[in-house]
Structure 1
Amino acid sequence: MNTLTANELKTKGVSAVESRLRDSEELVISVRGRNRYVVMDIEKYAKLREYELAAALEEARSDIREGRYQAESVDDHVKRLTSEL
């Protein structure tokens, strides 16, 4: 796993990130010995977001096919949600 410590990031800055991303698509930033953040190229991030949205759309389509939804007005929807709290 390609890891950069928070201290290295502080001292070397973005150049450390850029050099590490040349060898790997992702870079883990560790803080006090624990992996906390992931840095990646913006194109890869955009692709991951696209996959995430496609999965959400497929989940919604599946719910509709299986009848797992309710048709109701906005007011009724808010009332139902409020009563469930």
Structure 2
Amino acid sequence: MNTITANQLKTRGVSIIQDNLLKDQELVITVRGKEKFVVMDMKHYNYLRECELDAALHQAKADYQSENYITETVDAHIKRIKQ
């Protein structure tokens, strides 16, 4: 994963992001020597979101099959999650 500094971003602007994303899918921006931000193109971001949603669906199906869920009224649910 490529890394640039906030100072490089400040002086070169978006072009440094574009140049680095041609080499790698993600770019880390450091501030005062510490990793602070990750930049990626929308195609890669959407792919990661799909993976996240697939994992959540898989977990929900596994919970359903193992009967790891609660059936309750809306009021009971609201009360439970507020605790």
For residues 1-85 of structure 1, what are the structure 2 equivalents within 5 Å?
1-82=1-82, 85=83
Displacement of 1:79 after TM fit? 1.9
Task: Give ranges in structure 1 of 5+ residues lacking alignment.
Answer: none
Per-residue CA distance 1:12-39 (angstroms, 9 max, x = gap): 1101100111111111111110111111
4+ residue runs over 4 A deviation? none
One-letter amino acid of the counterpart of residue 69, structure 2: Y
Count of matched residue pairs: 83
TM-score by length of structure 1 reads 0.91
Letter of the structure 2 residue corresponding to residue 60 of structure 1: A
Q: What are the ranges of 5 or more consecutive residues in structure 2 without an aligned counterpart?
A: none
